[in-house]
Amino acid sequence: ACSDVVWTNDFTGLSDECGATGTATVTFTATDDCGNETTTEATFTIEDNTPPTIDPQAADATVECDGSGNAAELQAWLDSNGGASATDQCGEVTWTNDFTSLTDECGETGSATVTFTATDECGNESTTEATFTIEDTLAPSLDTPAADATVECDGAGNQAELQAWLTSNGGAVASDVCSDVVWTNDYNGLSDECGATGSATVTFTATDDCGNETTTTATFTIEDTTDPVIDTEAADATVECDGAGNQAELDAWLASNGGASASDACGDVTWTNDVGALTDECGATGTVTVTYTATDECGNTAETTASFTIEDTTAPSMDTPAADATVECDGDGNAAELQAWLDSNAGAVASDDCSDVTWTNDYNGLSDECGATGLATVTFTATDDCGNETTTEATFT
């Protein structure tokens, strides 16, 4: 009431609290011109109730499986708070997260949804959430492709060799950084070729745990390049001449392949031969050399050769033997009668199945008896074309 009032206060500074917060309790003094004072006290407080501002938010991350949990990439993502950034007007920001582990998916894949928490110095929090995913989108690596295989026919489908080839995936090798590899193939049977041969073109598929596939294709072939085996060689045959080419015996010898037999591991055997005409020997004899060819179902061949011979070792048959003749002496040696007797082979008749017969005799004159008489004992020889002989003897008196 007496004068003006002058205000003073004892503020010296704020207390040091979290962040840039703090308080000051201040005494305000009102002093009049005569030095009288009145005081009042109050507190000024800076508080922080505002959470940090997150910008940008955490972002999902997807990486390709490396088979070892992608530890470095995961740690980098966690350390970067999923790419999130936070600010606070009142102080520094501290980041934490609730990552524990990845889920267990196919192979070494998995994911984790992580909450990142930004906390300011006063304990105010803001959160952001994102997911880290390990995926496997890569097909297995084909380190060695499948290789064709060709085997010699065993007549039974070469089952052991085929199964071994299939089991080995045609020799193919595949690997995958994220998991094991499982092989399958589409084999469904061999083609039906000559004999027991055939082939199959097979696609082998390598599949990883996540279903990614790599394929390789190769062909398994059963071939027959082996000639039949001649188990029994053809044998020569010699028959006695029948004068008609011995056709039945020749046909039977040809039909039996000269007695030869053959076998083939891969299929049946078919026989052919190159029989030609018999050579023209004495009478109706002759020889033919025949090559028998055994051919398997795939066209492989083996040969055996033998000869069929018609021979004549049989002497002519003496159908009628020579007969003695006695004539009355005519004083001149009875030349006409003697000659007729010789020319008629003394009435002898001979035949041969294989050829004609030629007659000869050994007459060399009459003995010298009384007057102009005499006698001759003559051997008549019937000879066939092959030189076989039959004789008969008679006496002209």
At 121, the pLDDT band (50, 70, 90 cuts) reads: very high
On the question of a cis peptide bond just before residue 56, with omega within 30 degrees of 0, the verdict is: yes
pLDDT single digits (tens) 194-230: 999 999 999 999 999 999 999 999 999 999 999 999 9
Predicted local confidence at residue 75, as pLDDT: 98
Six token digits for residue 176: 């995958």
Can you count the helices (H) and strands (E) in the chain? Answer: 4, 26
Bridge partners for 292 per DSSP: 273, 304
pLDDT single digits (tens) 273-306: 999 999 999 999 999 999 999 999 999 999 999 9
Which amino acid type is present at position 389? E
**Entry pTM:** 0.76
Predicted local confidence at residue 57, as pLDDT: 98
On the 0-12 / 13-18 / 19+ scale of CB atoms within 10 A, 62 is exposed
Average pLDDT of the residues in 43-49:
97
pLDDT single digits (tens) 358-389: 999 999 999 999 999 999 999 999 999 999 99
Predicted local confidence at residue 227, as pLDDT: 98
pLDDT single digits (tens) 174-200: 999 999 999 999 999 999 999 999 999
pLDDT single digits (tens) 86-117: 999 999 999 999 999 999 999 999 999 999 99
At 340, the pLDDT band (50, 70, 90 cuts) reads: very high
- Alpha-helical (H) ranges within 123-246 are 159-167
Checking 199-206 for CB contacts under 8 A at 24+ apart, the result is: 200/162, 202/146, 202/166, 202/170, 204/146, 204/169, 204/170, 204/172, 206/140, 206/142, 206/169, 206/172, 206/174, 206/176, 206/181, 206/182
**What CA–CA distance (Å, rounded) separates 143 from 118?**
48
Predicted local confidence at residue 220, as pLDDT: 98
Q: How many residues does the chain have?
A: 397
Predicted local confidence at residue 388, as pLDDT: 98
At 1, the pLDDT band (50, 70, 90 cuts) reads: very high
pLDDT single digits (tens) 304-327: 999 999 999 999 999 999 999 999
Predicted local confidence at residue 316, as pLDDT: 97
Taken in order 323, 327, 332, 336, the sign of the CA dihedral is negative
Residue 239 contacts residue 312 (beta carbons within 8 Å): no
* Proportion of the chain above pLDDT 90, given as a percent: 100
